């Protein structure tokens, strides 16, 4: 299975988003690729890169020669609200409507885990007030940056950091005197 942030096996650079299953001389080989490399990987790339990537995502392409891509399981599901078949999602990676999430949930969850490493939302919800979000600062991190700033003789930054540290440590240890 895909780890939290599986790296593309081709370029070793981007995050993988697509799994390619290949039959090579009778054994199944799994290849995790980023969208860029996946697009380049297809035999029809020169003709039509968009369709190629889509077809690739669906896993229904068969490659010339002894290599053949095994079809990824295609359950016969359709969203009751928008009427989109699951197979269509596999081709485009686009859902038809917000109810598709429920209709294809058992399969979609695997994709969500693949893309995000998680499946449960942690961010804002519709009832959250719009509170300003600020960088989290801790004194240790600021001290490290202060040392760097002094070493780099960036005294303007050093002064700013010293003020920030004072602000934090003051609020952490109130009424010491």
Partner 1 sequence: MTTDKRFALSDQWMDREGPEQHVVVSSRARYARNLPRIPFPARASAEELQTVVKQVTNAVDTIPILKDGMHFSINDLVSLERNYLKENHLISTEMEKGGQGRAMFLSSDITVGMMVNEEDHLRIFSLLSGFQPFDALNALIELEAQLSEAIDFAYSTHYGYLTACPTNTGTGLRASVMLHLPGLSATKQLHSILKAMPRHGLTMRGFYGENSDNMGDFYQLSNEVTLGITEQQIVQRIHEVIEDLVKKEEAVRSKLYGVRMGAVEDEMWRAFGLLTNARAMSSQEAVILLGKLRYGIDQGTFASLTHQALNRLIIEVQPGHLQYSRGGEVGEQARDWLRADYLRRTLTDLITPSE
- The option from partner 1, Zn ion, none interacting with 164 (CB < 5 to 8 A, set by class) reads none
DSSP 50-75: HHHHHHHHHT----STT-EEPPPP--
- Using CB under 8 A, which of 136, 175, 176, 177 touches partner 1? 136
Q: Is 94 in the site for partner 1 (CB under 8 A)?
A: yes
- Using CB under 5 A, which of 71, 97, 152, 167 touches Zn ion? 97
Residue count of the chain, please give it: 177
Q: Is 106 in the site for partner 1 (CB under 8 A)?
A: no
Q: Is 71 in the site for Zn ion (CB under 5 A)?
A: no
Only segment of 22-30, 53-61, 110-118, 163-171 that touches partner 1 (CB under 8 A): 110-118
Give residue 46's Cα distance to chain centre.
Answer: 27
Q: What is the DSSP letter of 5?
A: T
Secondary structure element (H or E) that encloses residue 165, with its range: helix 155-172
| CB 2, CB 115: distance < 8 Å | no
| CB 82, CB 96: distance < 8 Å | yes
Residues that bind partner 1 (CB under 8 A): 5, 7, 12-15, 17, 36, 81-82, 84, 92-99, 101, 108, 111-112, 115-126, 128-130, 132-136, 145, 148, 152
């Amino acid at each position: 299975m895909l780890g939290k942030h599986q790296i593309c096996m081709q370029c070793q650079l981007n995050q993988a988003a697509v799994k390619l299953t290949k039959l090579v001389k009778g054994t199944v080989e799994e290849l995790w690729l980023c969208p860029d490399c996946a697009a380049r990987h297809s035999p029809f790339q020169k003709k039509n890169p968009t369709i190629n990537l889509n077809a690739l995502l669906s896993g229904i392409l068969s490659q010339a020669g002894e290599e053949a891509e095994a079809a990824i399981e295609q359950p016969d599901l359709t969203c009751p609200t928008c009427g989109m078949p699951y197979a269509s999602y596999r081709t485009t990676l686009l859902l038809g409507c917000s109810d598709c999430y429920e209709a294809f949930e058992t399969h979609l969850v695997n994709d969500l885990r693949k893309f995000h490493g998680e499946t449960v939302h942690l961010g804002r919800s519709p009832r959250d007030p719009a509170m300003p979000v600020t960088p989290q600062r801790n004194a240790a991190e600021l001290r490290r940056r202060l040392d760097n700033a002094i070493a780099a003789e960036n005294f303007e930054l050093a002064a700013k950091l010293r003020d920030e540290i004072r602000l934090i440590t003051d609020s952490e240890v109130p009424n010491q005197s």
